Amino acid sequence: MAQSQDCVTGTEPSAATDLDLVRLAQAGDVDAFGELVERNRRAVFRAALACVRSPAEADDVAQEAFVTAYRKLGTFRGEAQFRTWLLSITWRKAIDRRKSISRWLRMAVTAPPADAGEADFNQMERVASSSRSQEETFVDEELQQNVTRLIGTLPKKLRDALLLAGTGEHTYEEISQMLGAPLGTIKWRVSEARRVLKRKLSALGYAYE
Amino acid sequence: MNNERSLNDARLDRAIDRAVREIMQVDPAPGLRRRVLSRLNAPGSPRTFPAMRYAFAAKAFAAAAVVVTVVSFALVPSQVEPPAPPKPPAPTIASGVPPIDLEAVLSTPTAASASIPTNSALVSTERIAMPRVTNIFGAQPAGVSAATVREPAAARVTTETLAPLRIVPLSARPIVIESLVLPALLK
């Protein structure tokens, strides 16, 4: 909760709690809702990013989530934290967006990136100019690329839990309420995601070097 | 070996943490608050005009209903028969007039039908064999009947010989009206 009180724009943070701002916004104070947006924008954006994996899409989802939250503000009774309620709305919007994206992507032909060879060349140049051990740097870069690629191949439930836990913005309790799964299930999914990634990396030859 | 494996595990864990961090630790583009508030203040917002959503839904529903009605009328065949043309009144034959052979009357060419011009070029002299008609009433009796006797041409009745209509009274007896007596109901 302390993270949500941060004001990342450099303006002076308001002393009012989220609930106070919600009451003001319910009374028609748009500026109070703007303050809520400011407090929660990063958490909302990163939750959306964990789902849709695209910053531009995540920005759209974040906007839709805030607008929806404002319209449904009358239904918020304060029984749960505003941030948790907002993140639940965000996750639902992100899931809707992901479904539409996946439908679009299914129709599109997945072609390999045209600049793959160029990326390899650039990587070799970076290795040559590095002060570290060239071999070490090259292996680390390659490992990093493989991990990033393998995260994309994880089952969605495991990947969502892993990425949300890695945002630095959401607690396990918040992730649990966002995804509608028990806390123990969320922890297991994160652990299982890491285990699956390591197994796949082992299959690529990274385990016993 | 175990030590090497744990070191490798730690290395993979670090790689996973770093990859997740690189994916997720992205900040939203500046101005998110402004963009959200501008969407909230935009005219035509559903919060501002909630009734418009229902108006659009009602219009869409009405349009769909019209389309369904038109399509159903177009697809279902018409069950109503067109009105039959009025039949000409049956000829009334006065009593006392000998029966008329209507078949013979109709087969006689009249002046009107004879006056219809025919295109002689279209008329063919070739005989067309007609299909044999089986008598559904069985074998024809050997005796003479009205249907089998062919009347002489002189006895044929033409339309000019029809007698004018004449009303014949059914009975000459006057109708007697008797008074109605109800003795049982008076008690």
pLDDT digits (tens, 9 = 90+) for A123-171: 444 544 555 567 667 777 888 889 999 999 999 999 999 999 998 889 9
Chain A CB contacts of B18 under 8 Å are 144, 147
Parent domain of A39: 1-110
Report yes or no on B122 lying in a domain.
no
Residue A72 is assigned to a structural domain of this protein: yes
Give which of A147, A154, A164 to mutate to test B binding, by max B Cβ within 10 Å: A147
Q: Considering the domain boundaries, does residue B148 fall inside one?
A: no
CATH number, residue A83: 1.10.1740.10
For chain B, the C-alpha Rg in angstroms (whole number) is: 50
Which SS3 state, helix, strand or coil, does residue A209 take? Answer: coil
What are the pLDDT digits (tens) for A171-187? 999 999 999 999 999 99
Tokens 């917002």 correspond to what residue?
B45
Closest by Cα among A62, A52, A70 to A87: A62
- Which of B5, B7, B23 to mutate against chain A (most A CBs within 10 Å)? B23
Buried b / exposed e along B166-176 (16+ C-beta atoms within 10 A):
eeeeeeeeeee
User: How far from A32 is each of A2, A20, A29, B157, CA to CA, in Å?
Assistant: 18, 9, 5, 110
In a domain, B9, yes or no: yes
Residue B58 lies in a domain: no
Lowest average pLDDT, out of A68-82, B26-40, B107-121, goes to: B107-121
A99-114 pLDDT tens trace: 886 657 655 655 444 4
The answer as to whether A16 is a domain residue is yes
- CB-facing half-sphere around the CA of A142: CA atoms within 13 A: 14
Specify the 3-state DSSP secondary structure of A170: coil
Tell me the whole-structure pTM to 2 decimals.
Answer: 0.55
Does any domain span residue A17?
yes
ipTM topping 0.85: no
Q: Closest by alpha carbon to A86, among A63, A57, A52? A: A63
Would you call B15 and A147 a contact, using CB atoms and an 8 Å cutoff? yes
Residue A52 placed within a domain: yes
Q: State the count of interchain CB pairs (< 8 A) between A and B.
A: 108
Residues A30, B41: C-beta atoms closer than 8 Å? yes
Is B64 a domain residue? no
- Pick from A55, A59, A166: CB nearest B20: A166
Total number of domains in chain A: 1
Report if residue A81 sits inside a domain.
yes
Report the length, in residues, of chain B.
187
For residue B47, count other CB atoms closer than 10 A to its CB: 12
Percent of chain B as helix, strand, coil, to the nearest 5: 45, 0, 55
Domain assignment present for A79 = yes
Whether A167 is in a domain gets the answer no
What single-letter DSSP state applies at residue B94? -
Long-range pairs of B145-154 with CB within 8 A, sequence gap ≥ 24: B151/B101, B151/B104
Enclosing domain of residue B8:
1-28
Q: Residue A117 domain-assigned?
A: no
The structural domain count of chain B equals: 1
